[in-house]
A and B are shown apart, each in its own frame.
Chain A
């Protein structure tokens, strides 16, 4: 099977490439890149006027399987990925049961191999049951192919246990992904503590709850040499600490979500339960700090923290709503609308942080269109205008703070290992 993607603007930061050319895909791999490739192909895809980029890699996704299929499962979650131009998702272990042993890692891999519309990378738990009491079998999970380890949803409260985890993991060349929020300071609040919470009365979560937790994890990264990746940084204080430790050469990396780059706590002012998330949407000064941190390299990856919930769980009073919302089908569109078309980020930065750099952080061997690499490709129409309508989503989590948003820019085709899994917004079902 040969596919020739003709005449697209190939944007591949992994090769520092931004030029109009053809991409020849054969047997699931990129066979050639070049201007006017003449070789005959089974299908010629005319990408004139479109961007051809490495498929997006989202390091922070909740697929909810096993156990929480009312929210999402591997099929619906990876269909949402395909719809959004995302070809690889790393799924978090806070399922039921928790992904804390090799058998569950294998079971998810098996399910994804049977039917999925994206590559599924697996993040195992740091502690058994994500309870923070004793180490999970991270070595065994690493040998079965777990990408990294995290107790996402919870901070590893015990400094001793986190220290042990960091030391232990260095033998397996894997990273720890840290949900770094002080649990006590976090516990009494439901939104960012600031002018909006003061006005609308919802108890606030101070931004320092992140700073304190991030500082500890950076200190332990320095002490142990472990790769510590800070998940969903949203506070300017926390990003400053990460910047300092990176400058010292400590193996700390970080990610920021699309929503923490584009929304403020004003979105919570109508008590829309779709806006409740952890860490919370923060004030404009924090959003600006996150944007600066993307541009100066303190932030390595842009993620969704795609966290679908069932309507009966999420359509409730603000404080009762569980944290999180879906993001896979809006991430690229929102980034292009709010950050590319406003000249805040260039396209190279967006593709780099949403594909190339995430791949490098966890050695995924993707996020590139170099000849010989796996043909995971997103074809993007930068100017396509569309409106966010959750009723049309593939994900089961129909809640998004971007509901009704007018967007400009969207993936119009997604290729996974040489085969189209999405065209014109429609996922190609098997």
Chain B
């Protein structure tokens, strides 16, 4: 149970490095309650009635944006979506002015997705409303990290100490990888990364992970295999020879997955490139928790909005 003095009221949620273990616990506990709301016939709480949330998305997104939008609406908030293709950004407005403009409309939280690392931190310096980072370049995606934690907890229990975690694929450009490395090492898990060495950050060992040149070594005996999306853009830039070779050498198929624990939990942040980083069979296998991740995403985002906008207290026994 979360300690009484732990609160996220008014906090910007920029990454998981800056959340304590107790704060992460508070979010997950709250998300478990929110999941109960999602299962109701009438999925609506009045908790955020009168609050307004702006989804400010500088990059395309389906699940994250929709998930934040529904999370806000389930809690009774007014949610407005801004996508930059149809905003003043195309007229050349800088981020500072966009944030100040949105703030002037009396919004309470800005959920921001941006292609540049640190953009959410920049916005947090400028803005008074709560900033929730919905992904900044290759840096962080804290709500994704939290929904993965909730999924792992449901499948394998809350104690991650000694759990073997494998993250495979494009580590270099992945905010999901950085977020999960930060959270999982903080919670005591044993984190292994693998993928083409051209997509492996220099000195990634400094984050407390073990690097493998072959995915088989990373997966062997793993409790969790987190498969990262390979952007085809990377291949076009020559980071690996061909999608075909990637699938053959680094793709996760049933044969490779057998190296992991029999009850391994397979994660993927989506959208999947089936047949590239993940085979058709693995994507639909019983161990795949990919749709649990999506459902937990809404619950975790409800929890984040609730905790940051209502004084940050734990919600108990919602039903």
Residues of A with Cβ closer than 8 Å to B?
193-195, 197-204, 206, 270-271, 273, 312, 315-320
Q: Does residue B266 face the partner (Cβ distance < 8 Å to A)?
A: no
- Partner among A195, A197, A198, A316 whose Cβ is within 8 Å of the Cβ of B94: A316
Partner of B116 from the list A194, A206, A319 (CB cut-off 8 Å) is A319
Q: Is the Cβ of B94 less than 8 Å from the Cβ of A318?
A: no
B137 and A199 within 8 A (CB): no
Q: List 8 A-B contacts (CB under 8 A).
A: A193-B202, A197-B202, A199-B178, A202-B118, A270-B121, A271-B118, A319-B117, A319-B137
Question: In this assembly, does B164 line the interface, its C-beta being within 8 Å of a C-beta of chain A?
Answer: no
CB of B284 within 8 Å of the partner chain: no
Residues of B within 8 A of A194 (CB): 202-203
Contact digits for B109-141, partner A, Cβ 8 Å, 1 yes 0 no: 000001011110110000000000000111110
B139 / chain A contacts, CB cutoff of 8 Å = 200-202
Q: What mask results when residues 179 to 209 of chain B are scored 1 for a CB within 8 Å of chain A, else 0?
A: 0000000000000000000000111101100
Closest residue on chain B to residue A318 by CB atoms: B118
Chain B residues contacting A202 (CB-CB under 8 Å) are: 117-118, 137-139
Residues B114 and A195 in contact, CB atoms below 8 Å apart: no
Q: Which residues of B contact A195 (CB under 8 A)?
A: 203, 206-207
Whether a CB of chain A sits under 8 angstroms from the CB of B153 is: no
| A/B pair count, beta carbons within 8 Å | 69
Q: How far is the CB of A158 from chain B (nearest CB, A)?
A: 22
Contact of A201 with B117 in the complex, beta carbons under 8 Å: yes
Task: Assess the B118–A198 pair: CB atoms within 8 A.
Answer: no
Measured CA separation A336–B122 after assembly (Å): 32
Residues of B within 8 A of A (CB): 94-96, 114, 116-119, 121-122, 136-140, 172-173, 175, 178, 201-204, 206-207
A198 touches B202 (CB 8 A): yes
Output the nearest chain A residue to B121 by Cβ-Cβ distance.
A271
Which residues of A are found within 8 Å of B116, using beta-carbon distances? 317-320
- Let me know if B207 and A206 touch, CB within 8 A: no
Check B206–A199 contact: CB distance below 8 A: yes
- Give A203 to B178 CA distance when docked, in angstroms: 13
Assess the A201–B119 pair: CB atoms within 8 A. Answer: no
Q: Is the CB of B202 within 8 A of A317?
A: no
How far does the Cβ of A54 sit from chain B's closest Cβ, in whole Å? 42
- The interface residues of chain B lying within 8 Å CB-to-CB of A318 are 116-119, 122
Are the CB atoms of A317 and B138 closer together than 8 Å? no
Q: Kindly list chain A residues whose C-beta atoms are within 8 Å of the C-beta of B172.
A: 203
Taking a contact as CB atoms under 8 Å apart, the answer to whether B203 and A201 are in contact is no
* Bound Cα distance A271, B119 (Å): 8
Residue of A nearest to B200 (CB): A198
Measured between alpha carbons, how far is A317 from B94 in the docked complex, in Å? 9
Nearest CB on B from A212, distance (A): 16
Question: Are A317 and B119 touching (Cβ within 8 A)?
Answer: yes
* Nearest B residue (CB) for A270: B121
Residues of A within 8 A of B207 (CB): 195, 198-199
Shortest Cβ distance from residue B161 to the other chain A in the assembled complex, whole angstroms: 22
Q: Name the distance in Å between B194's Cβ and chain A's nearest Cβ.
A: 16
Q: Which residues of A contact B94 (CB under 8 A)?
A: 312, 315-316
CA distance in complex: A270, B140 (Å): 13
Closest B residue by C-beta to A202:
B117
> By the criterion CB–CB under 8 Å, are B122 and A271 in contact?
yes
| Cα–Cα, bound, A195→B181 (Å) | 14
Identify the 7 closest CB pairs spanning chains A and B, nearest first.
A271-B118, A201-B139, A201-B138, A195-B206, A317-B116, A198-B201, A201-B117
Q: Inside 8 A of A203's CB, which chain B residues have their CB?
A: 138, 172-173
In the bound assembly, the distance between CA atoms of A158 and B269 in angstroms comes to: 44
- The docked-state distance in angstroms from the alpha carbon of A398 to that of B205 is 37
* A283: nearest chain-B partner, CB-CB: B203
